[in-house]
C-alpha cells in the first residue's frame, strides 16, 4: 500500500503558511516569524518523495553516529523574545480525532516510547485535536548553545557552510555559548541534559534568550518514512513492534511543531503529507499534454489560404 503514495514535505512559521522544502540537501530552509528566525534541514533515508528528483539519501546517514537513523530534522533557531524552558515544547499534533484509527497495540507502543525513548512525553491521542509533546530540552537529541554576538555567529555560519555535511554536536560554541551553557547549569552530555530537564524546576530555571542561537538535531531509527511504518525496539522480554502506519492513515498530515505552549504560538511547523501517486502521475500527463498542444505549429488549410488571396 505504501508504494501507492509519495511524501511531500512543507514548512513554515504557522500551520497555514507553508512552502514545499527540499529533502536530503545541505542547503537549509529559512523560516521567519514574529517569534523566531529558523534554519531547517531535513534528511530522510531511502527518500522517494517530492520534489521529483530529490536525492534518495544523504551522506549524513553514512556518518557516525547516524548510520542506523532513518531521518533527521535538524534546525537552528534564534528567539525574538525570551521563552521559559518549561514553555518551549516540541512534538506532533493533529486537527482531527485519530482515536478510531489507532492500531491494535498502540498503547503498548506508546508506553515503550515514553519509558524507553522519551520519558518527558505528554499528550492526549484520544482528544478531538490530538497531540503529543515533550519539553524541547528533554526531548531533542542534541542541543548546542550558540552566541549572541553577530561576528561570532557569522563565523559559526561560515564554519558550517564549509563543513560539507553539517552535524550538530551536543555542547556550546566557544566563548559566549559555553558561558551561557555553564551559567544555565546544563549538563555536558546529551543523556545527562535530557535527564536533568525531566525535572520541572530545572526547566523553569532555564531561559531561551532573545537573540541567542540554539542548534538542534532530532533523529531516530524508529519512524520509517519510506514504508510509512513505526519500528519500535524490543526490550528484555518485550518483543519489538512494527506498526504499519499507512494501514491506519486517515488522510491527515503528520506535523512536527516547535511552539511556546504558554502562548500556544508556533515558532515553526513542518508538515508531512502523503500524496496519491496515481493522481500525481495523471496531473503530470495532463501538464505534458497541455504543453504539447501549446507548442504544436498551426496548420493552414488550402481553403484558408484561398480566402487570404
Q: Where are the domains of the chain?
A: 2-308
What's the whole-number mean pLDDT along residues 68-85? 97
Q: CB count, 10 Å around CB of 237?
A: 5
For the chain, give the percent of residues with pLDDT over 70: 81
What's the whole-number mean pLDDT along residues 183-202? 97
pLDDT, residue 125, reads 85
pTM of the model: 0.85
Look at residue 182 and tell me whether its pLDDT is greater than 60.
Answer: yes
What's the whole-number mean pLDDT along residues 224-248? 71
Rounded distance between C-alpha atoms, residue 73 and residue 142, angstroms:
11
Q: How far is CA 137 from the centre of its chain?
A: 16
Rounded distance between C-alpha atoms, residue 213 and residue 149, angstroms:
10
Look at residue 301 and tell me whether its pLDDT is greater than 50.
Answer: no
Q: CB count, 10 Å around CB of 183?
A: 8
DSSP state of 64: T
What's the whole-number mean pLDDT along residues 18-39? 96
Query: Residue 214's closest CA among 12, 41, 79?
Result: 79
What's the whole-number mean pLDDT along residues 29-36? 95
pLDDT, residue 209, reads 97
pLDDT, residue 304, reads 47
**Higher pLDDT pick, 3 / 60:** 60
pLDDT, residue 154, reads 67
CA angle 211, 216, 220 (to 5 degrees): 165
Rounded distance between C-alpha atoms, residue 19 and residue 17, angstroms:
7
DSSP state of 238: B
User: Which of 17-21, 165-169, 170-174, 286-290 is the least confident region?
Assistant: 286-290
pLDDT, residue 162, reads 60
Q: How far apart are the first and last CA of the chain?
A: 63
User: Which of 109-113, 165-169, 241-245, 283-287 is the least confident region?
Assistant: 283-287
**Higher pLDDT pick, 135 / 165:** 135
pLDDT, residue 241, reads 66
**Higher pLDDT pick, 175 / 248:** 175
User: Which of 12-26, 129-143, 190-204, 286-300 is the least confident region?
Assistant: 286-300
Amino acid at each position: 500500500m505504501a508504494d501507492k503514495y509519495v511524501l511531500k514535505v512543507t514548512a513554515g512559521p504557522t500551520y497555514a503558511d507553508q512552502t514545499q522544502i527540499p529533502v536530503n540537501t545541505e542547503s537549509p530552509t529559512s523560516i521567519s516569524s514574529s517569534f523566531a528566525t529558523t534554519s531547517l534541514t531535513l534528511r530522510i533515508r531511502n527518500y522517494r518523495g517530492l520534489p521529483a528528483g530529490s536525492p534518495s539519501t544523504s551522506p549524513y546517514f553514512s556518518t557516525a553516529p547516524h548510520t542506523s537513523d532513518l531521518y533527521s530534522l535538524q534546525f537552528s533557531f534564534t528567539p525574538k523574545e525570551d521563552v521559559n524552558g518549561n514553555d518551549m515544547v516540541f512534538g506532533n499534533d493533529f486537527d482531527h480525532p485519530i482515536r478510531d484509527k489507532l492500531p491494535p497495540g498502540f498503547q503498548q507502543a506508546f508506553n515503550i516510547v515514553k519509558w524507553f525513548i522519551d520519558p518527558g512525553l505528554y499528550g492526549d491521542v484520544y482528544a478531538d485535536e490530538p497531540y503529543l509533546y515533550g519539553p524541547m530540552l528533554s526531548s531533542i537529541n542534541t542541543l548546542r548553545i550558540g552566541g549572541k554576538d553577530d561576528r561570532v555567529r557569522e563565523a559559526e555560519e561560515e564554519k558550517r557552510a564549509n563543513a560539507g555535511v553539517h552535524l550538530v554536536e551536543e555542547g556550546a560554541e566557544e566563548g559566549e555559548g559555553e558561558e551561557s551553557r555553564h551559567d544555565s547549569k546544563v549538563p555536558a552530555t546529551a543523556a545527562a541534559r535530557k535527564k536533568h530537564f525531566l525535572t520541572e524546576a530545572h526547566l523553569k530555571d532555564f531561559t531561551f534568550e532573545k537573540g541567542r542561537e540554539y542548534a538542534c538535531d532530532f533523529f531516530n531509527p524508529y519512524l520509517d518514512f519510506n514504508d510509512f511504518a513505526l519500528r519500535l525496539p524490543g526490550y528484555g522480554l518485550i518483543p519489538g513492534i512494527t506498526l504499519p502506519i499507512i494501514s491506519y492513515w486517515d488522510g491527515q498530515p503528520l506535523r512536527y511543531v516547535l511552539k511556546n505552549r504558554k502562548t500556544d504560538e508556533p515558532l515553526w511547523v513542518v508538515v508531512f503529507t502523503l500524496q496519491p501517486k496515481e493522481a500525481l502521475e495523471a496531473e503530470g500527463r495532463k501538464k505534458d499534454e497541455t504543453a504539447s498542444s501549446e507548442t504544436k505549429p498551426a496548420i493552414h488549410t488550402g481553403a484558408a489560404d484561398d480566402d487570404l488571396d
